[in-house]
Chain A
Amino acid sequence: MLATLARWFGIRTRRTFRLAVRGMSIFIAACGVFAVNLLMELHKFWWAAVPSAVLVIVAIVEFVLADYLAERSYPIATEQKLDLLERQLGKDAVAILARKLDRTIQSFQACDKSKISGTIHIVVELLPLPELKTRRGLLQLTDYVGPYGGSKGRITTLEKGIVGRCARTGKMESVNFDDVPEYRRRMVEEFGFTREEAEMHTRVAKSYLAEPLRLSGAIIGVLYFFSTEAQVFPFASSQSHLESQAQDFVDVLKTVSIV
């Protein structure tokens, strides 16, 4: 719920989340201090305890809870990637990657290109769990290019989805669904999602493609495309063409110091 609320307010990174909480805390604290002073002047000492309590709560939220929530939602390693993208590289790098994604989509053949959406995911470290000391996930690096899909910053674990499967196997992966019931069933049975998670995704898509991004033999990310047209992938592009496109993306990511 918190994540949904944050997204609703346009908060997608640790930095914006912390800034938002800090700004809200300062505003509430200022109001609280004013109220305490006012009530003290009026000799309503017991009533002054109410805004004083609010001040204590705000202090706990700002100095304890906000850091905990930020750490939980936006792990440092992931945040560093987003910071690099957003702070150091700015919009130019995002625009370069988006243009490149669009050119890749336009290079697909024998299909309706206007129905294809695409993005890039990169492998990031996630906070360890008690039973899992090292944990990796996939961070959506750019907004989707194309008619469907969400915005950057989304994180999925390697156990989920065709993107996770691609990052695990290191091979090009594709999947086609005939209809929504088949999508719902296979997302749960084959792709590691719960029914609720499957419902949150774009269900009109029918054909999916994921191509690994490699650097020195290691999988560093995944190129991801989907189409609302049936049976587009994997045949809309040759394997050699896809691999060459993936290498171009790796070169761009290297140049802008994302990997």
Chain B
Amino acid sequence: MASNAYADLAQEYYDPFHKTCRNFDAATKSALARKTFALPDAGLILEVGCGRGRCQEFLGVDKNRVVQLDSSREMLDLTDRESALVRILANAACVPLFDSQFSAVVGFLVDSFIGLCFFAEAYRLLLPGGMLLVTTPASEWGQALRGQQEPEVSSARFVTKTGQAVFVPSTLIASARILEMLSYCGFQSISIDTAPLPVGIEPISADVERAACIYGVAVHELPLVYLINATKPG
């Protein structure tokens, strides 16, 4: 079980106070609206790093198809949450479930556990023909703010409402490397779309503005989220 870095953050993670997360939500919604993909209309859906659950909000799927998984007990314990078939406390890179049981593995902002092990695990859990659909912060955005040095490069800093700084694992991977990882794991029909912050969204996070300023682009031109879609061969 991973360390529970989100314990101090869970109660306020979905609060408008955390503007960067809300900007990511807006970019995710916009990317999903633009994307024409067909989520399998039958079978179980595993929502990894689910937090309070976003499957119904973002994808409109039936709650009886959704299995929520998170490594944070506090996140799974949030009362204001989407309903699901079952909740599982586990690391998304090491899921204690048998192979080939899900028609889709979905996750929104999976930067806390994205990597080769997670993709391999998602592949193992998917049925043949199953779909992987995840979003993660764009590496272009993060590199501008975090630089290249450990540990800053692999952690995200949240400032809570009480002013406490909380660091959580956050790996940002360039889209070309994500493509390489997915191909290596065996996925096909891979697409990685970049989504900026939609025009008209307010308030804009200072971290988004700062990154845009560093690159010398408008905030609505800055790559903010990757929408990753891939299929396990049937």
The reply to whether chain A is a binding partner of chain B is: yes
User: 1/0 per position for B112-128, CB-CB distance to A under 8 A?
Assistant: 11111110100000000
Asked if A228 and B150 make an inter-chain contact with CB atoms under 8 angstroms apart, the answer reads yes
Residues of A within 8 A of B21 (CB): none
Asked if A232 and B3 make an inter-chain contact with CB atoms under 8 angstroms apart, the answer reads no
Residues of B within 8 A of A207 (CB): 117
Max count, chain B CB within 10 A of own CB: residue among A112, A176, A182 = A176
User: 1/0 per position for A169-211, CB-CB distance to B under 8 A?
Assistant: 0000000101111100100000000000000000010110000
Asked if A235 CB lies within 8 Å of chain B CBs, one says yes
Expressed in whole angstroms, the Cα–Cα distance for A179 and B171 within the complex equals 11
Asked if B3 and A231 make an inter-chain contact with CB atoms under 8 angstroms apart, the answer reads no
Asked if B113 and A178 make an inter-chain contact with CB atoms under 8 angstroms apart, the answer reads yes
State the Cβ distance, A134 to closest chain B Cβ, in Å: 36
Expressed in whole angstroms, the Cα–Cα distance for A168 and B139 within the complex equals 40
Instruction: Across the interface, name the chain B residue whose C-beta is closest to A180.
Output: B151
Asked if A54 CB lies within 8 Å of chain B CBs, one says no
Instruction: Across the interface, name the chain B residue whose C-beta is closest to A176.
Output: B117
Asked if A231 and B93 make an inter-chain contact with CB atoms under 8 angstroms apart, the answer reads yes
Interface residues in A215-258 by Cβ distance below 8 A to B read: 228-232, 235-236
Query: Which residue in A111, A178, A235, A236 is a CB contact (below 8 Å) of B2?
Result: A178
Asked if B155 and A110 make an inter-chain contact with CB atoms under 8 angstroms apart, the answer reads no
Expressed in whole angstroms, the Cα–Cα distance for A179 and B170 within the complex equals 9
- Interface of chain A: mostly helix, strand, loop or mixed: loop
Residues of B within 8 A of A230 (CB): 115, 154, 169, 171
Say which size band chain A's interface belongs to: 20 to 34
Binds A, one of B11-19, B40-48, B177-185, B209-217: B177-185
State the Cβ distance, B176 to closest chain A Cβ, in Å: 11
Asked if A109 CB lies within 8 Å of chain B CBs, one says yes
Residues of A within 8 A of B201 (CB): none
Expressed in whole angstroms, the Cα–Cα distance for A236 and B185 within the complex equals 10
Interface residues in B1-55 by Cβ distance below 8 A to A read: 2-3, 5
Asked if B120 and A182 make an inter-chain contact with CB atoms under 8 angstroms apart, the answer reads no
State the Cβ distance, A236 to closest chain B Cβ, in Å: 6
Residues of A within 8 A of B112 (CB): 178
Expressed in whole angstroms, the Cα–Cα distance for A235 and B180 within the complex equals 13
Query: Which residue in A109, A111, A206, A236 is a CB contact (below 8 Å) of B154?
Result: A206
Asked if B3 and A182 make an inter-chain contact with CB atoms under 8 angstroms apart, the answer reads yes
Asked if A235 and B117 make an inter-chain contact with CB atoms under 8 angstroms apart, the answer reads yes
Asked if B151 and A204 make an inter-chain contact with CB atoms under 8 angstroms apart, the answer reads yes
Say whether, besides A109-B184, A204-B150, A178 and B116 are in contact (CB < 8 Å). Answer: no
Asked if A111 and B116 make an inter-chain contact with CB atoms under 8 angstroms apart, the answer reads yes
Asked if B5 and A110 make an inter-chain contact with CB atoms under 8 angstroms apart, the answer reads no
Query: Which residue in B2, B167, B180 is a CB contact (below 8 Å) of A110?
Result: B180
Asked if A110 and B184 make an inter-chain contact with CB atoms under 8 angstroms apart, the answer reads yes
Asked if A178 and B5 make an inter-chain contact with CB atoms under 8 angstroms apart, the answer reads yes
Expressed in whole angstroms, the Cα–Cα distance for A180 and B167 within the complex equals 11
Asked if A185 and B3 make an inter-chain contact with CB atoms under 8 angstroms apart, the answer reads yes
Query: Which residue in B3, B115, B117 is a CB contact (below 8 Å) of A179?
Result: B3
Say whether, besides A110-B180, A111-B116, A232-B116, A179 and B150 are in contact (CB < 8 Å). Answer: no
Asked if A182 and B2 make an inter-chain contact with CB atoms under 8 angstroms apart, the answer reads yes
Asked if A236 and B150 make an inter-chain contact with CB atoms under 8 angstroms apart, the answer reads no
State the Cβ distance, A12 to closest chain B Cβ, in Å: 27
Task: Pull 23 A–B residue pairs with CB atoms less than 8 Å apart, ordered by A.
Answer: A110-B116, A110-B177, A110-B181, A110-B184, A110-B185, A176-B93, A178-B2, A178-B112, A178-B113, A179-B3, A179-B169, A182-B2, A204-B150, A207-B117, A228-B150, A230-B154, A230-B171, A231-B93, A231-B114, A231-B115, A231-B117, A235-B120, A236-B116
**Which 5 pairs, one residue from A and one from B, show the smallest C-beta to C-beta distance?**
A231-B115, A182-B3, A110-B184, A231-B117, A204-B150
> Which residues of A are in contact with B by a Cβ distance under 8 Å?
109-112, 176, 178-182, 185, 204, 206-207, 228-232, 235-236
